[in-house]
Structure formats: structure tokens, C-alpha cells
Amino acid sequence: MSSSAADSGFGQYVARQASAGRVVVQPRMGFSAAERMREGLLAVKRAAGSTAGTITLDSYTRVGRHASAMRHLDEELTLNGYPIVAYGPEATRKMLEGVAEANFPIQVRHGSADPRDIFAAMLESGLHASEGGPVSYCLPYSRMPLAEAVVAWRESAELLADAQASGSPVHMETFGGCLLGQLCPPGLLVAVAVLESIFFRTHGLTNLSLSYAQQTSPAQDREAVAALRRLAEEFLPGVEWHVVIYTYMGLFPSTYEGAQALLDESVRLTSETGSERLIVKTAVEASRIPTIEENVDALERSADLALHVRRMSQADGFYLDVYEPESETYTEARALIEAVLELDTDIDVALLSAFERGILDIPFCLHPDNRNDTRSVITSDGRLQWLDTGRMPLSQTRHAADALTADGLLASLRYTAQRYDNAVAR
């Protein structure tokens, strides 16, 4: 890779900002009209703070229905994202002219179990950063057999690896730390994030990010990110990587004040754990799709708070070292990672075998290739714990799925929203 290409990539930009003590903030933004997508990207680029751009794709493109996406464009109908394949590379390059640059990289976000067409269109358009994974974008979001998704993602990763070998600054983010968005104990989130990163490394990618979605307990979240960083160091030699935090992905507080408090907590989580990037939501999350202006306001507030918190954390000596090196989350995640890797030397085969045997099992996930024997529960102090571990090889096995009632599940789904709304009401 040439030095100019190496300096212009998404991962390299995040690394530069981290070296300067800044967190990169990024929205989840996508528009079907090319001029509107350009407007949104330019607004994010002009925002105060270290920002990265996002092009979120539409639902038709995610499932390969590119002709349907094209019909909507021809009829001037609105889609719920940017149809990068239907537009074609020339139109996307025109949309990006004067927008994408070394200090404003752009990531394509999609949600597809088979991103081969998406990645081809992305590369032809001059974009080199995306996200997802064979597990994290199949089981929660698709009915595609996991075996087919693994093949599609292997070929997609190899396509990106070929571009990387030709000098393109490719970056891939695993979505494994965001499985279903909520009610998945952190040990499993961390394990899948690391395993998908191993999958990407195996298929030639060397610049990665590992995701983690804010959950129900601030203390447990900090423990989880510490575990994620330690395991990445242990299992990803030869890889440049960083950690990206997602603001809570479940039911959001209905009050503006409660939503803002939850958002601010995700900023503190990012800063206090040394995480390098944050996917930001807005305080209107529970009621409607935010405007461009609201996205920019949320980015600027988050960037400002992140800088303040990081300075305070460093001054107080508060950082990852405060967490036990052998935490419950670390121990669980490492046990799952090792159990999967022991199944086969081929990571593709190992992942498939792990779900077939229940060694990996996502609670509440109804995909046919997920056993769905596991269940989780929120404890009185807000931590996510296993209620039923199914067949997963965890030392503290639990088998009490029958104890979870419908009312209990609904209460768990509402826990975070009610906690932050109630705190404001008091």
C-alpha cells in the first residue's frame, strides 16, 4: 500500500484523532436522494469536532432487490436509505465530489447478509470502509441460512482484501458487539466481535474495528470494553484495530431529558474506556427520524463532552486499569472464543459448527440456525446476566428459561428507557 493511500483510510483517520486525544463521532444517516445524501455528508463534515461520514443503505439494497430500488428512483419515491448499487458508481462518485477526503472518511453501512454487490459498488465508487459480519448481519436481520451468509461474507472479505492488496485503504468493522441491540449479555457480544474480527483477518483484512453496543449497566459496559480491548490484543496480532461504541440500540427514553442523559452516558463510556469512535444517536430517537440539523447538534455535543470527559479521566487516573483483568465478561468471552476456535482450524467451519452445537447461542434470536435455548435477565443493579446458558460452555451454567415470563421480557425491554425517564422525573 502506498504511503498516500495508507494515510487516507478510515482506520488511519481514527488512529490520528485518537493520538491527538479526540474521539471520532459518527451519525447513522442515509437518504435516497443523492443531493440530500450529499447535503447530509457536508453538514457532518462541517460540524465541530472529529467527525466521520455515514452512507446508510436502503432496505431493497440490503436484500439484493436492486431493480426495486431503481423503480423507486425512477418514480421519484423515497427510500429509507441510499441505493448505492442502483445509482451506479458514476453517480455516487459525483455525489461525493469534494466531500470525501483524508480528514473526512466515509463508511458505508448496510445490514446485508450478502454484501457482495454492495462492496463491489462501494469500491467502484471510491469508498473503502464498511461494516457487518457473517454472524452479526445474518442471524438478527435475515432468514438466509448461516452457511450461505458465511460464504457470501468470505467472498466479500476477499474482494476487499484484493482491493487492499492493490493499495486501497480498506477498513472493516465487525457488528458482532451489537447483536440484536439489547438483552445479550456482554460476554457473548465481546466473543462474537472478536470471532468476526478473526474471520476478517483470516480472509486478508488488516485494518478493523470492533463494536460494542451500550447495554443496561454502565459499570458492566466498562468491564466489557476492557475485556474487548484485551482480547483484541490477544487474538488479533498483525491487525490495526480500534473500538467503536454504539449508543443504546433498544427502546429509547421518551423524554428529551432522559434520552439526552442516556446519550451522554454513551459518550462517557467511550471516553473513559479509551474507545476511539462513537456511533451517535439523537434525543428524538424514540419519536421520529432526526433531521440533519439534529444529527449535527448531537455530534457536536458528543464531541465536546467526549473531550471534556477524557481530560477529566486522564487527570483522575481513571482508565481501563480500574477493572479486574479476569472479570466475568472477560472470562465468559474468552471461554466462548476458545471453544469455537477448537472446533476447526477453518474459522468458517468453526462458526457454523458453533451455532449448530449451541456453543454460540443468541438469546431471543429466532433465526432457524440459532438454537435460541439461551435467555438473559437484568439483575437488580442493572447488569445483564444469563438466566439460561443453553449448551454454551460457560463455567457458571444456568438453566432457568422457564422462569422468564412475557411480562418479565417486556419489563427488560423497557428497563433502560424507564430508568432514564424516571431519573428525570424525580
Q: What is the pLDDT of residue 317?
A: 54
354 domain-assigned: no
328 domain-assigned: no
Alpha-carbon span 305 to 299, nearest angstrom = 10
Residue 6: pLDDT band with limits 50, 70, 90: very low
- pLDDT digits 0-9 by tens, 182-224: 899 999 999 999 999 999 999 999 999 999 999 999 999 999 9
Report the pLDDT averaged over residues 377-382.
93
Q: Grid coordinates 482484501 are at which residue?
A: 161
Report the pLDDT averaged over residues 140-146.
94
Alpha-carbon span 118 to 113, nearest angstrom = 11
Global pTM reads 0.95
Stretch among 29-33, 140-144, 331-335 having the lowest mean pLDDT = 140-144
Closest CA to 393 of 336, 327, 333, 334: 336
Alpha-carbon span 48 to 346, nearest angstrom = 45
Residue 32 maps to which CATH number? 3.20.20.240
Q: What is the pLDDT of residue 4?
A: 44
* CB within 8 Å of 123: residues ≥ 6 apart: 159, 160, 163, 168
pLDDT over 90, % of the chain: 86
- pLDDT digits 0-9 by tens, 72-108: 999 999 999 999 999 999 999 999 999 999 999 999 9
The H-or-E segment that residue 415 falls in is helix 406-425
pLDDT of 324 > 70? The answer is: no
Range of the domain at 75: 3-322
pLDDT of 16 > 70? The answer is: yes
Q: What is the pLDDT of residue 45?
A: 98
Per DSSP bridges, beta strands 53-56 and 106-109 are: parallel
- pLDDT digits 0-9 by tens, 221-271: 999 999 999 999 999 999 999 999 999 999 999 999 999 999 999 999 999
Q: What is the pLDDT of residue 315?
A: 61
Q: What is the pLDDT of residue 426?
A: 66
DSSP readout, 342-383? TT-SSHHHHHHHHHHHTSS--TT---TTS----EEEE-TTS-
Query: CA 138: distance to chain centroid?
Result: 14
Per DSSP bridges, beta strands 384-388 and 106-109 are: unpaired
156 domain-assigned: yes
Q: According to the 3-state scheme, what is the secondary structure of 214-259? A: CCCCHHHHHHHHHHHHHHHHHHCCCCEEEEEEECCCCCCCCCHHHH
Environment class of 177 (CB within 10 Å of its CB; exposed 0-12, middle 13-18, buried 19+): buried
Report the pLDDT averaged over residues 13-32.
96
Report the pLDDT averaged over residues 9-14.
97
Q: What is the pLDDT of residue 397?
A: 80
398 domain-assigned: no
Alpha-carbon span 244 to 276, nearest angstrom = 6
Residue 180: pLDDT band with limits 50, 70, 90: confident
pLDDT of 404 > 90? The answer is: no
103 domain-assigned: yes
416 domain-assigned: no
Domain count, the chain: 1
Q: What is the pLDDT of residue 50?
A: 97
Alpha-carbon span 228 to 299, nearest angstrom = 25
CB count in 10 Å sphere of residue 238 = 6
40 domain-assigned: yes
Report the pLDDT averaged over residues 378-391.
94
Is the sign of the CA dihedral 245, 249, 255, 258 positive or negative? negative
Report the pLDDT averaged over residues 353-370.
97
DSSP 58: P
Q: What is the pLDDT of residue 400?
A: 84
The set of cell numbers assigned to 227 is: 475485556
Q: What are phi and psi of 393, to 5 degrees?
A: -85, 65
DSSP 101: B
Residue 398: pLDDT band with limits 50, 70, 90: confident
**Looking at this protein, which amino acid is placed at residue 97?**
E
Per-chain mean pLDDT for the chain:
93
- pLDDT digits 0-9 by tens, 288-316: 889 999 999 999 999 999 988 977 766 65
363 domain-assigned: no
